[in-house]
Chains A and B, each alone.
Chain A
Amino acid sequence: MSAGIYVHVPFCLTRCGYCDFNAYAGLDELKPRYLRALLTEAGLAAPAWDGASVESVFLGGGTPTTMTAGDLGSLLGALRDAFEVSPDAEVTTEANPDTVEEASLAALLAGGYTRLSMGAQSFDPAVLRSLERLHSPDSVRRAFAAARAAGYVNVNLDLIYGAHGETLESWERTLGETIALAPEHVSAYALTIEPATPLGRAVARGDVPEPDPDVQADMFQLACSMLRDAGFGHYEVSNWARPGYECRHNLGYWRREPYLGLGAGAHSYRDDHRWWNVRPPEEYLAMVERGELPVGGEETLDPSDAYLEEVFLRLRILEGVPSSWVEDDRAEPFLESGLLLEDDGSLVPTERGMLLLNELVLGLAASSAAR
């Protein structure tokens, strides 16, 4: 069995208004305990994963690079001791442009982190301010150059589009700047308003307008065409890569392969069973320090849940759903209206279909008996 490992680092310099991840500013004094707890948890979890070959490790957050390269290096070392991490595993860490420089990046690379995922978000200062990101477009360029200088040959840039104040023209410039840097991988996410965030509350109060879905649709289509022209392959709704640089770790999630999550709020999956750790870092620390697995919840997928996930994820990664799974009359309207293509026995979303993916999923997954 091959598997992935996700490690959650909940620390951030500041909280951004749009973000609803399990992340905290001002908990820096917990870092040493947290690092020890991750190692303890890895030890507790490892026996159940005996025999699994770990093909990817992903550090997400939060901002993993708020921890020192040395700490992150010893973390990875500990994971290699506890699990069978394959020698050519993809090992990614997320990075905030303001928390890295050439020396620290070189140390990370030396410590075994071979892939870097950088939160650029935008090259428009107004958009960065609107997202409450502290960094400037220049710091993205600087950090990217530092990554190259440190020897990174597999770098992702994360982008967010559709924030208040962003126009199609501004988004076009951001895409142009991104392409000019020539990263191996680009993730571009439409800004989603999460109710339980400062931005969500501002939208609810009417202080900030909700993103216009039509503008976001235009932005998506612009990203599709500019990135395609620049030689990127579109392999998931929000992800593009040069051939061979698709993120193996994320593909594991989407292909419903097993993964183990370590850290506060991290999710795990194996054999139609999902479980997740408690979210608050203090609670996580307390449970691990008592020698318990910090599990906060779990679910076992029944066949219809599993089928819905399968359809949803297959459509997202553009592998498509086998035509044989779906009754003809369900697929037909989508084929006719150009949201789906039939390709070699599979139903695959078109660009317009990707934008209306929820409709496709609900329309196709309704025939749950067909699997």
Chain B
Amino acid sequence: MSTDTSHIRNFCIVAHIDHGKSTLADRLLEVTHTVADRDMRAQYLDKMDLERERGITIKAQSVRLLHDGFELNLIDTPGHVDFTYEVSRSLEACEGAVLLVDAAQGLEAQTLANYHLARDAGLVIVPALNKIDLPAAEPEQRTKELANLLDCDPADILHISAKSGAGVDELLQAVIDRVPPPVGDVAKPLQALIFDSMFDPYRGVITYVRVQEGVLPSHARIRMFATHVESEAEETGVNAPEPTPVPELGPGEVGYLVTGLKDVHHAKVGDTITLAGKQGATEPLPGYREPKPMVWSGLFPADGSDYADLRDALDKLKLSDAALHFEPETSQALGFGFRCGFLGLLHMDIVKERLEREFDLELIATAPNVEFHVFRGTEMTIVHNPAEMPPGGDYDKVEEPVVYATVITPSDYLGAVMGLCQERRGELVDMSYLTPERVEVHYVLPMAEIVFDFFDHLKSGTRGYASLDYEPWGQQEADLVRVDVLLHGEPVDAFSTIVHREKSYAYGKKMVERLKELIPRQMFDVAVQAAIGSKIIARETVKAKRKDVLAKCYGGDITRKRKLLETQKKGKERMRRVGRVDVPQEAFIQALRVDDGGSAKGKK
């Protein structure tokens, strides 16, 4: 029933952001007539609004292209450093990768990182220079650079324009010629790799799978290795590009499976599906690991009564997002919520936006932090929440995660890049010139220093030319302290943060100045203080308000005055109480914004 493996090619496209991956995917859909011209739209495979808006792929998608009697499965991998694990699992589903490089920009940090991932996964690389029709393109220079990296014949590098379609037919042919067909045995027990999963409100858990061995029938009792869960699968199918049921998926084939699962935690990216019972495989495919969050933040419903809805929404998101971690958290200031773990800041933004858009929740997010290891004697505590850190230095040492960062920059901006890395407590590892004009620099940097606004500063310091990639590099001791913020003497747990001692004063000052503008005047003077333990390091005062009265009450329109009072009353009820101080939601949201702009405008 399923296609003979010799006529199957499974491949992906790896590229640096903006090098034209989605445009190439669009063109492949057109050239193979997978999508009729009238149905075509830009970034066809990016299903979420968020993906189209941000111009990046968040979720891995697969689509089946039929060309010259071949079944070509294109697996569109996520395109951001936050999603390296998801990328690696998508790569496992392929035998080949088109390495796409912008002919004007050349190699970038992500090109290298993804190339290394693809090579490590044993994929055959089909290199292609894109945007060769751009006036700024330097095909010869770039060909040399790329051939050098791949150690290949420059003649093997294709020149294409995904935009115009030039060279795309040749690229397809190269994929067919160079990428080996998958190997797999129909007779072996089923092993299917989950490289993505999602939750459909009508159909439950849908996974995207690559069958390695055996056959996945449309209806079967299946078992997940990592979670030990069994279920009655309801449908197999392929995206062509709309979901199309097929009777079964054979070895080497890629498609979707409606798992019949309703519980959201049971189908994890990277896990292996087999058949339940005796016909099932005894071993999973190698390489599964629980994704590890790098950035943590507390998410709280702005309206406390939405707590249960937030929990349900997180449960649903977790299904399609194996990297999302969350556990209940209680904040004195913000009430009941969840401490959530994310792969990075983009991942956090995306989750937050999806919760707000798809689940119609209004959220307050605390400032993101990394994972700290706090040592007291031989005892080590893992801290995901600054409020859990012993205040005032009651510990022997603290370790923070560091990353090995790769920056590629035009040599003109090397000074700016090194200055920035130095300022962010980076340690230079080495540097090498790719060409006389372009340098590759490696730094070990504290994760905490780069997850927030490092990339923005890197971009602005190099007029957008530098690129960045990084990977986890273990833990490292640092002189870190917990800074608390107090309102009228009461610490506000949501504002506590862990920073390097040298930066604690600046942080404290920034926070109290910001809060001074955001906290409405109360019936008494409110001290806004930043403290390390019992030591106050910054202070501002919100002066008591003196006037809050409706000036005029005549002409008989009492109704309007009463309504103004009722509005004011409702506003008061929506505020959070910290000790005796009423703090509006907006103050939390504004004060906790990640950007360092002290531009907290809009006096309340």
Task: Tell me the A residues contacting B by CB distance below 8 Å.
Answer: 6, 21, 60, 189-192, 213-214, 216-217, 220, 236-238, 250, 253-254, 259, 261, 266-269, 274, 276, 299, 305, 308-309, 312-313, 316, 333, 337, 352, 354-359, 361-362
Contacts and interface: CB of A to CB of B under 8 A. Distances in A.
25 contacts: A6-B555, A21-B555, A189-B552, A213-B545, A214-B547, A237-B553, A250-B554, A254-B553, A266-B556, A267-B557, A269-B558, A274-B558, A276-B559, A305-B562, A308-B562, A308-B566, A309-B558, A309-B562, A316-B553, A355-B546, A355-B548, A355-B549, A357-B549, A361-B565, A362-B565
A205 to B, nearest CB: 14
Interface in B508-549: 523-524, 543, 545-549
A358 B565 contact: yes
A4 to B, nearest CB: 9
Closest 7 CB pairs of A and B: A217-B546, A267-B556, A357-B549, A213-B547, A217-B547, A190-B551, A189-B551
Contacts of A6: 555-556
B551 A362 contact: no
Interface centre among B543, B547, B557, B558 (most CB of A within 10 A): B547
A299 B543 CA distance: 39
A354 B550 CA distance: 10
Contacts of B188: none
Contacts of B559: 267, 274, 276, 299
A189 B554 CA distance: 11
Nearest to B521: A213
A313 B524 CA distance: 25
Nearest to A305: B562
Contact of A337 (B523, B547, B565): B523
A341 B19 CA distance: 73
Contacts of A250: 554
Q: Among B523, B543, B555, B566, which residue has the most Cβ atoms of chain A within 10 A?
A: B555
A356 B558 contact: no
B547 A355 contact: yes
Contacts of B572: 362
Given A253-B556, A274-B558, A358-B549, 18 more contacts: A6-B556, A189-B552, A190-B547, A190-B549, A213-B546, A213-B548, A214-B547, A216-B547, A237-B551, A250-B554, A253-B553, A267-B555, A267-B557, A276-B559, A305-B562, A313-B558, A355-B547, A361-B565
B556 A358 contact: no
B548 A358 contact: yes
Contacts of B553: 236-238, 253-254, 313, 316
Given A191-B551, A254-B553, A214 B565 contact: no
B550 A356 contact: no
Contact of A60 (B523, B555, B561): B555
Contacts of B566: 308
B557 to A, nearest CB: 5
Interface residues of B, number: 25
A312 B561 contact: yes
Nearest to A192: B551
Interface string B553-594: 111111101100110110010000000000000000000000
A259 B562 CA distance: 18
A312 B554 CA distance: 13
Given A253-B556, A268-B556, A359 B561 contact: no
Contacts of A217: 546-547
Contacts of A337: 523-524
Nearest to B560: A267
Contact of B549 (A237, A254, A309): A237
Contacts of B565: 308, 312, 358, 361-362
Contacts of A267: 555-559
A273 B561 CA distance: 16
Contacts of B558: 253, 267, 269, 274, 309, 313
A340 to B, nearest CB: 12
Nearest to B554: A250
Nearest to B569: A362
A283 to B, nearest CB: 18
Nearest to B549: A357
Interface of B: 523-524, 543, 545-559, 561-562, 565-566, 568-569, 572
Contacts of A356: 523, 545-549
B523 A261 contact: no
Contacts of A309: 558, 562
A15 B565 CA distance: 28
Most A Cβ at <10 Å: residue of B523, B543, B550: B550
A356 to B, nearest CB: 5
B112 to A, nearest CB: 48
A216 B550 CA distance: 12
Nearest to A219: B547
Contacts of B543: 214
A266 B568 CA distance: 25
A191 to B, nearest CB: 7
A238 B552 contact: yes
A276 B545 contact: no
Given A214-B547, A216-B547, A359 B523 contact: yes
B556 A359 contact: no
Contacts of B568: 358, 362
Contacts of B546: 213-214, 217, 352, 355-356
Nearest to A312: B565
Nearest to B557: A267
Nearest to A211: B547
Contacts of A333: 523
A354 B562 contact: no
B489 to A, nearest CB: 18
A358 B523 contact: no
Nearest to B522: A359
A21 B545 CA distance: 28
B545 to A, nearest CB: 7
Contacts of A266: 556
A98 to B, nearest CB: 22
Nearest to A354: B549
A128 to B, nearest CB: 18
B556 A192 contact: no
Nearest to A253: B556
A72 to B, nearest CB: 18
B552 A276 contact: no
Contacts of A254: 553
Contacts of A358: 548-550, 565, 568
Contacts of A216: 547
A152 to B, nearest CB: 20
A238 B551 contact: yes
B551 A269 contact: no
A305 B546 CA distance: 26
Contacts of A237: 549, 551, 553
Contacts of A21: 555
Contacts of B550: 192, 357-358
Contacts of A191: 551
B562 A312 contact: yes
Nearest to B553: A316
Contacts of A299: 559
A276 to B, nearest CB: 7
Contacts of B554: 250, 253
B604 to A, nearest CB: 12
B447 to A, nearest CB: 40
Contacts of A362: 565, 568-569, 572
A160 B559 CA distance: 23
A312 B561 CA distance: 9
Interface-central residue, A250, A261, A358, by most chain B CB under 10 Å: A358
Nearest to B548: A358
Nearest to A358: B548
A246 to B, nearest CB: 13
Nearest to A252: B556
B552 A359 contact: no
B547 A261 contact: no
B523, B559, B566, B569, most chain A CB atoms within 10 A = B559
